[in-house]
Structure 1
Amino acid sequence: MRIVFHGENAASFSHGFADLVGEADITVLPDILASEADRAAYAAADVVVGTRFNTSLPRPAGLKLFHVPGAGYDAVDLGALPASATVCNCFGHEQAIAEYVMAGILARHVPLADADAKLRKKDWSYWAGAPERVHDELAEKTIGLLGFGHIGKAIAVRAKAFEMKVDVANRSPVPASERVDRSFTLDQLDEFWGSADFIVVSVPLTAETTGIVGKEAFDAMRPSAVVFNVGRGPTIDETALYAALRDNKIAGAVIDTWYVYPSPDKPDVLPSILPFHELPNVVMTPHMSGWTSGTIRRRQKTIADNVLSRAAGRPCTNVVREGGSADS
């Protein structure tokens, strides 16, 4: 079994991988396959773990499994992969992303850092005992979840632990339950936008979801609303988001997924062509919300289980596309 981990992201899952799959020929390759040896190793792979595939890469004719070490596979040209290859993705990031969202919300409502900084200067601005010194709380606030997959469900569990109300907008109807107070379908978004104090976008990037949060959405939101993007950057219209923040149409945003990303030839870039970094009402993070030791551990196990299943001719989990028989 020749297993290739392609690129820096995939390489994170290679450490200790042999302990999970047993005897295997494991190769870790850089993002750019500059040498003939690297390209030959890629072309000979039975299994590729990687975040992208296109016609610029060598075509591994005998490929049995292409495994994305994450949920999104929009950078994988499925049509360019050999028909023999089963394509899988993996999750395991929802716990971390849910914690990130709750941390972002709590930071706005429990001002620990600001209280600490002030008290070090003998400023008792948050001292209990006077109504003008109160700070806010999460209980009874409404969180609106655009998308109710792995991430949305994990956020809902944690929001309910804080006694929040949970509204959901999803392509398929979500019945009301102990975790969901109100549900909207995508043709009811006009009503959904104004229903929540926090809007969390976690939908995958598709033709349908590109720009799904645009100017009309921001116009319909509460002026006190805070928007989170933990899905894919372009699901929120870049220009509309910047304008809404610049003009204070909404109270703020916490953005983890972006419009411009580093590349080997441009490693130091801002995450947008627009000057979000100059705005005081946005928290900017570098696509880090799901990147924890727990995520790596859970995803590594999913990948290893699928490698063993594919080799044994058993069904894989999280299948994006079925491939031919393992002997083809």
Structure 2
Amino acid sequence: MKIVFHGDNARNFRDGFEAMLAGAHDIVELSDALAGEGERDHFRTADVIVGIRLDASMPRPERLRLYHAPSAGTDMIDRSLLPAGAALCNCFGHEHAIAEYVMTALLLRHVPIPEADRRLRQGDWSYWAGRPTGLRTELGGSTIGLLGFGHIGKAIAERAKAFGMRVSVANRSPVAAGPLVDKAYRLNDLAAFMASADVIVVSLPLLPETAGLVGRAALAAMRPDALIVNVGRGPVIDEAALYEALDSRRIGGAIIDTWYRYPTAEEPGPAPGHLAFQDLGNIVMTPHMSGWTTGTIRRRMQTIADNIRRLAQGEPFMNRA
């Protein structure tokens, strides 16, 4: 089969890929712009494409049998351009890394090790046990609200429970209370869910029904000192509503990893929002890094290789999107 890795993102999953495959295949790397000699023809004649974007500016992949996103999101892939019979699959494997990111970000708010280190180097013993200036809060005494209870939400819940946290969940499909969930809500009861926790973690995918779901009303329902974390997709939280809630200090703060603007060839270093989040003092900003680990790469490569094997052997695919 001809297997095409399209673009810089897909090439992250290229090194060592042959070792995961059975049999010999023609593997081709293509640029994002498909501007090199013969690249558009390779794209057109691929049996498998690994990539994150398919739109009308690209050649129609006439022989395609499998389009495999090396990511969970497929919102940049126009399904109408897939030939009849071609499968669209995605990858997970990032939930462990994202859960570690979330717990690290929360722990640092309760256990300020970098700040204590900085002060002690200057002879400042403010955090010394026995001094009132050193008293800290504990993560285990708080409630975490998980907006979305898929792979990411479940991985976070497991770790939150290990710290003794209470867990509330709001999800598109019903979730029953159990060992990982103390209280569950439906999305039509979003205000009550938003009020239920000290930390709200958004991990929903971006779909027509989730875009702007967390708007002014939802943010207004949060506890005044509560924190919101976004590791799903930026536009699930309305940008203007989030900025206003932070700027007015209506909520306690935010940790945002997924954004409203991203680098492009024309603008490689943009601000991540249309509004000046970088000027706010109650937000921690990271550049969509929460799931990006060597473990994520390895697990996703294996998923792609397994699905190519399934294609060759006529078996059902995993992770049909």
Whether the TM-score (by the shorter chain) exceeds 0.5 is yes
Question: 1:206 — aligned with what?
Answer: 207
CA RMSD of the aligned region, Å? Answer: 0.9
3-state SS in 1 of match to 2:139: coil
Q: Where in structure 2 are the equivalents of 1:78-117 lying within 5 Å?
A: 78-117=79-118
Question: 1:188 — aligned with what?
Answer: 189
Question: 1:12 — aligned with what?
Answer: 12
- Whole-Å Cα distance in 1 between the matches of residues 187 and 61 of structure 2? 40
Give percent identity, aligned residues only.
Answer: 58
Structure 2 residue 55 is matched with structure 1 residue 54? yes
- Whole-Å Cα distance in 2 between the matches of residues 132 and 181 of structure 1? 34
- Whole-Å Cα distance in 2 between the matches of residues 256 and 27 of structure 1? 32
Aligned length: 320
One-letter amino acid of the counterpart of residue 13, structure 2: F
- Whole-Å Cα distance in 1 between the matches of residues 179 and 64 of structure 2? 45
Question: 1:149 — aligned with what?
Answer: 150
Q: Where in structure 2 are the equivalents of 1:172-321 lying within 5 Å?
A: 172-320=173-321
One-letter amino acid of the counterpart of residue 297, structure 1: R
One-letter amino acid of the counterpart of residue 89, structure 1: N
Report the CA distance between 1:156 and its aligned residue: 0.1
Question: 2:75 — aligned with what?
Answer: 74
- Whole-Å Cα distance in 2 between the matches of residues 19 and 213 of structure 1? 44
Report the CA distance between 1:132 and its aligned residue: 4.0
One-letter amino acid of the counterpart of residue 225, structure 2: S
Report the CA distance between 1:59 and its aligned residue: 1.1
- Whole-Å Cα distance in 1 between the matches of residues 314 and 176 of structure 2? 37
- Whole-Å Cα distance in 2 between the matches of residues 62 and 229 of structure 1? 38
One-letter amino acid of the counterpart of residue 84, structure 1: G
- Whole-Å Cα distance in 2 between the matches of residues 72 and 39 of structure 1? 24
Q: Where in structure 2 are the equivalents of 1:120-135 lying within 5 Å?
A: 120-135=121-136
- Whole-Å Cα distance in 1 between the matches of residues 95 and 269 of structure 2? 28
Report the CA distance between 1:303 and its aligned residue: 0.3
3-state SS in 1 of match to 2:298: helix
2:126–2:133 contact (8 Å) kept in structure 1: no
- Whole-Å Cα distance in 2 between the matches of residues 150 and 284 of structure 1? 23
One-letter amino acid of the counterpart of residue 237, structure 2: I
Gaps of 5+ in 2: none
User: Larger deviation: 30-39 or 2-11?
Assistant: 30-39
Question: 1:325 — aligned with what?
Answer: none
Question: 1:160 — aligned with what?
Answer: 161
- Whole-Å Cα distance in 1 between the matches of residues 306 and 238 of structure 2? 38
Report the CA distance between 1:130 and its aligned residue: 3.2
3-state SS in 2 of match to 1:66: strand
Superimposed CA distance per residue, residues 100-146 of structure 1 (whole angstroms, 9 cap, x where no aligned partner): 00011011110001111111111111111133420111112000000
3-state SS in 2 of match to 1:113: helix
- Whole-Å Cα distance in 1 between the matches of residues 184 and 91 of structure 2? 26
1:62–1:84 contact (8 Å) kept in structure 2: no
User: Larger deviation: 121-130 or 254-263?
Assistant: 121-130
- Whole-Å Cα distance in 2 between the matches of residues 258 and 33 of structure 1? 26
3-state SS in 1 of match to 2:60: coil
**TM superposition score normalised by structure 1:** 0.96
- Whole-Å Cα distance in 2 between the matches of residues 311 and 83 of structure 1? 18
- Whole-Å Cα distance in 1 between the matches of residues 269 and 133 of structure 2? 44
1:97–1:290 contact (8 Å) kept in structure 2: yes
3-state SS in 1 of match to 2:255: strand
Report the CA distance between 1:35 and its aligned residue: 2.7
- Whole-Å Cα distance in 2 between the matches of residues 122 and 223 of structure 1? 35
One-letter amino acid of the counterpart of residue 106, structure 2: I
Report the CA distance between 1:40 and its aligned residue: 1.2
- Whole-Å Cα distance in 2 between the matches of residues 298 and 240 of structure 1? 36
- Whole-Å Cα distance in 1 between the matches of residues 245 and 191 of structure 2? 17
1:55–1:80 contact (8 Å) kept in structure 2: yes
1:229–1:257 contact (8 Å) kept in structure 2: yes
**TM superposition score normalised by structure 2:** 0.98
2:20–2:302 contact (8 Å) kept in structure 1: yes
Gaps of 5+ in 1: 321-328
- Whole-Å Cα distance in 2 between the matches of residues 5 and 13 of structure 1? 8
1:52–1:75 contact (8 Å) kept in structure 2: yes
One-letter amino acid of the counterpart of residue 161, structure 2: K
